[in-house]
């Protein structure tokens, strides 16, 4: 019997590839997205190495980093800047996929998640014959780092409240409050680009980082001025991108989280710390277990975790 009213796992129908610049390496990267079997999860594959190395996209394989999200195995093999692709996979409902790379970094493309959603759409999501697990948050977990903090509390869906506060008048104080949903992500979050300050970019380049960064793939702020000639895609694009990063980093849980996230002045390292603390407490979470669908097609099964987006507040 087919289970009805349940959410099923999804992969993509066919492989698709793109080429782009690595934000920190500055080198051209070829990335290929490939279909994957049920229960295999999201796996980043370094095909430039011999033998090829697979890195599952899980919090337990991640490194705390202020600049980007990086996976690392015990042998020191890494894949970095995965967060924008992870956010697109999360919002696109993709559970199982292989991400092949011929370098140690995901291409930055335009600095948002929108191009990755386009790739997923072109490849075509494909339903699979096993139910999708979610992770139910059962108690409040809170982490702090200086003036920054983040917490997750029990809820029936994933929602994120995020606020930032910068001295630059180009950014200032901004906040969002959203329910993580497929269409809402596309309309309100996906196009928000990564950003940085000109003096920080110069410092990173001196340290051998941000070699691929440009006005084509990031918002660059100099004092109180946005240097990009085309301006911003949203008045509050900065906090929307911070929310995008949180969505991508949370998908390192290995399944969609059901909880209410609140974050003040967030970072990749802070979200990583939140996941680490959550999974360190066996009473703080539980799975909704996967169920076999007896090999039947599940094309008509709804993605039950997708819900309307809440209004964004300036």
Query: Which sequence positions are flagged as catalytic?
Result: 268
Q: Which two tokens stand for residue 209?
A: 């980082």
Q: Tell me if 31 sits within 8 A of 99, measured CB to CB.
A: yes
3-state secondary structure 134-148: CEEECCCEEEEECCE
CA distance 125 to 88: 12
Cα Rg of the chain (Å, integer): 19
Nearest to 28 by CA among 78, 102, 117: 102
Q: Which residue has the tokens 């079997």?
A: 37
| Pairwise CA distance, residues 242 & 221, whole Å | 16
């Amino acid at each position: 019997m087919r289970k009805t009213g349940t959410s099923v796992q999804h992969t993509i129908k066919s492989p698709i590839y793109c080429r782009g610049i690595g934000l920190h390496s500055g080198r051209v990267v070829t990335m290929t997205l490939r279909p994957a079997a049920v229960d295999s999860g999201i796996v980043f594959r370094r095909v430039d190495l011999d033998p090829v190395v697979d890195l599952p996209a899980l919090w337990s394989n991640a490194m705390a980093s202020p600049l980007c999200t990086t996976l690392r195995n015990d042998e020191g093999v890494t894949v970095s800047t995965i967060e924008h692709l992870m956010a697109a996979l999360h919002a696109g409902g993709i559970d199982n996929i292989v991400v092949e790379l011929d370098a140690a970094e995901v291409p930055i493309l335009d600095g948002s998640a929108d191009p990755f959603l386009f790739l997923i759409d072109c490849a075509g999501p494909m339903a699979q014959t096993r139910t999708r697990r979610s992770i139910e948050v059962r108690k409040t977990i809170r982490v702090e780092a200086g003036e920054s903090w983040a917490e997750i509390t029990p809820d029936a869906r994933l929602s994120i409240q995020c606020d930032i506060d910068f001295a630059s008048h180009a950014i200032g104080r901004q906040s969002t409050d959203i329910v993580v949903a497929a269409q809402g992500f596309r309309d309100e979050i996906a196009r928000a680009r990564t950003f940085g300050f000109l003096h920080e970019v110069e410092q990173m380049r001196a340290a051998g980082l941000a070699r691929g960064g440009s006005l084509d793939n990031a918002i660059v702020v100099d004092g109180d001025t946005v240097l990009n000639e085309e301006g911003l895609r949203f008045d509050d694009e900065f906090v929307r991108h911070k929310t995008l990063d949180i969505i991508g980093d949370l998908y390192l849980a290995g399944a969609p989280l059901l909880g209410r996230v609140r974050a003040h002045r967030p970072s990749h390292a802070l979200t990583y710390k939140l996941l680490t603390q959550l999974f360190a407490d066996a009473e703080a979470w539980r799975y909704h277990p996967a169920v076999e669908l007896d090999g039947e097609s599940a094309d008509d099964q709804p993605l039950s975790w997708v819900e309307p987006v809440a209004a964004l507040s300036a």
